[in-house]
Amino acid sequence: MGEHVVVIYPHPDDEAFGAAGTITTFREKGIPVTYLCGTLGEMGRNMGNPTFATRETLPEIRKAELIKACEVLDIHLEMLGYRDKTIEFESTEDVAAHLFQFLNEIKPSLVITHYPGHAVHPDHNAFGAAAIRAVEMFPAAERPTVWAQAISNTHVEELGGPDIENDVSDRISKKLETIMAHKSQADGMLKSVKEEADDIELATKQWLGVESFYTWEFN
Ligand SMILES: [Zn+2]
Residues of the chain with pLDDT under 70: 1, 45-50
Q: Which numeric CATH code is attached to 5-215? A: 3.40.50.10320
Residue 85 CA to ligand 1 center (angstroms) comes to 10
3 state DSSP class of 44: coil
Residue 38 confidence (pLDDT): 98
Among 140, 142, 160, 141, CA closest to 150: 160
Alpha helices in the chain (DSSP H): 14-28, 58-73, 92-106, 122-136, 155-159, 172-181, 183-196, 200-208
pLDDT one-digit tens code per residue, 104-129: 999 999 999 999 999 999 999 999 99
Residue 186 CA to ligand 1 center (angstroms) comes to 13
**Domain limits, the chain:** 5-215
Instruction: Please count the CA atoms within 13 angstroms of the CA of 40 that sit on its side-chain side.
Output: 15
Residue 119 CA to ligand 1 center (angstroms) comes to 9
Residues with CB under 5 A from ligand 1 (ion): 11, 14
Residue 118 confidence (pLDDT): 97
Residue 174 CA to ligand 1 center (angstroms) comes to 20
pLDDT one-digit tens code per residue, 16-42: 999 999 999 999 999 999 999 999 998
| Rounded Cα–Cα distance for residues 70 and 75 (Å) | 5
Cβ contact 211:147 at 8 Å: no
Residue 14 CA to ligand 1 center (angstroms) comes to 5
Residue 25 CA to ligand 1 center (angstroms) comes to 22
- Counting Cβ atoms within 10 Å, is residue 137 exposed (0-12), middle (13-18) or buried (19+)? middle
Residue 1 CA to ligand 1 center (angstroms) comes to 31
Q: What order do you get walking across the sheet with 5-9 strand by strand?
A: 76-79, 33-37, 5-9, 110-114, 145-149, 210-215, 164-167
pTM of whole model > 0.85?
A: yes
Residue 49 confidence (pLDDT): 61
Residue 212 CA to ligand 1 center (angstroms) comes to 16
| Rounded Cα–Cα distance for residues 83 and 98 (Å) | 15
Residue 67 CA to ligand 1 center (angstroms) comes to 16
Residue 198 confidence (pLDDT): 73
- Counting Cβ atoms within 10 Å, is residue 64 exposed (0-12), middle (13-18) or buried (19+)? middle
